């Protein structure tokens, strides 16, 4: 009788361990997916210098909005302030969430966007509004200036070169 109870307890425990080990983990949502999911409703919103809403938004307000709502990180409002945040990163080392800075336009204003993946970035274009563009496209390839990294690959804020939870 005692042997039977031990055997049954062993079976119950073995089944419980098997079930616990075989349970599929919920897949992690990548930084790229988080940005795309958050910004999808913003695609097509018109550009408006100084704008911050879906009625109209400029490039630095869009990057500020993404960082605030996706990563809970406060960015300064203006491109000239955002472009010095974080750490410099080489063009061939970009990861999702990096800020992409472009040379000044004809109007003398620099431009900024957020890198997604595979040379794509999201930004508020002065001519087409919020959109996804490619860094390999001639205009953006020529205008690319630098990139800044504020987050590590897991989405943690980097401070003084070290990720902070």
Q: Is 72 an active-site residue?
A: no
Q: Among residues 21, 72, 123, 156, which one is catalytic?
A: 123
Q: Is 123 an active-site residue?
A: yes
Q: Among residues 21, 23, 72, 111, which one is catalytic?
A: 111
> What is the C-alpha to C-alpha distance for residues 69 and 87, in angstroms, rounded to an integer?
21
CA dihedral sign of residues 68, 74, 76, 77: positive
Burial code (b: 16+ CB inside 10 Å, e: under 16) for 13-22 equals eeeeeeeeee
> What is the C-alpha to C-alpha distance for residues 39 and 113, in angstroms, rounded to an integer?
12
Q: Among residues 21, 23, 59, 72, which one is catalytic?
A: 59
Q: Which residue numbers are catalytic?
A: 59, 111, 123
């Amino acid at each position: 009788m005692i042997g039977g109870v031990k055997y049954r307890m062993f079976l119950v425990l073995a089944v419980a361990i098997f079930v616990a080990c075989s349970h599929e983990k919920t897949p992690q949502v990548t930084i790229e997916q988080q940005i795309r999911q958050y910004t999808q409703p913003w695609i097509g919103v018109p550009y408006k210098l100084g704008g911050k809403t879906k009625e109209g938004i400029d490039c630095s307000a869009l990057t500020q909005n993404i960082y605030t709502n996706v990563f809970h990180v406060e960015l300064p409002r203006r491109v000239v302030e955002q472009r010095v945040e974080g750490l410099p990163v080489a063009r061939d080392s970009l990861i999702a969430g990096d800020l992409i800075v472009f040379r000044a336009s004809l109007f003398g204003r620099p431009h900024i966007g957020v890198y997604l993946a595979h040379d794509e970035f999201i930004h508020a274009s002065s001519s087409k509004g919020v959109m996804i563009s490619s860094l390999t496209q001639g205009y953006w390839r020529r205008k690319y200036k630098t990139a800044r990294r504020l987050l590590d690959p897991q989405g943690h804020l980097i401070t003084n070169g070290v990720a902070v939870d």
